[in-house]
């Protein structure tokens, strides 16, 4: 997420585990649309400092932090 003024996002990997960390570093609410090139799906919300009703919607409260366990999407191959 290059140049987002309010949100800091990064991924980490260790062996076969992958994690997505999302931080809203401002005092304003902010919506985040993950770019499709990241090619993963949210699997499990591990940590959050606000109540989350739907892990697929990423609308962050002021100073909200979330950590997701993620899973790489299977790539579909087209027949030639």
Look at residue 2 and tell me whether its pLDDT is greater than 80. no
Answer whether residue 79 is part of any domain: no
Look at residue 78 and tell me whether its pLDDT is greater than 70. no
Look at residue 23 in the predicted model and tell me its pLDDT.
96
Answer whether residue 48 is part of any domain: yes
Residue-wise pLDDT for 13-69, tens only, equals 988 889 999 999 999 999 888 777 676 777 889 999 999 888 778 899 999 999 999
Higher pLDDT, residue 32 or 77: 32
CATH number at residue 39: 2.60.40.1180
Q: What is the pTM of this model?
A: 0.79
Look at residue 32 in the predicted model and tell me its pLDDT.
86
Q: What is the separation of C-alpha 56 from the centre of its chain, rounded to a whole number of angstroms?
A: 9
For residue 66, the enclosing domain spans 7-72
Please state, in angstroms and rounded to a whole number, the distance separating the CA atoms of residues 61 and 15.
32
């Amino acid at each position: 997420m290059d140049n987002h003024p309010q949100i800091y996002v990064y991924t980490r990997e260790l062996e076969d585990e992958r994690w997505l960390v999302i931080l809203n570093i401002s005092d304003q609410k902010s919506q985040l649309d993950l770019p499709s090139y990241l090619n993963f799906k949210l699997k499990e919300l591990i940590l959050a400092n606000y109540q989350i009703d739907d892990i697929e919607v990423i609308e962050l409260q002021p100073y909200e932090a979330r950590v997701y366990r993620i899973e790489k999407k299977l790539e579909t191959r087209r027949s030639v």
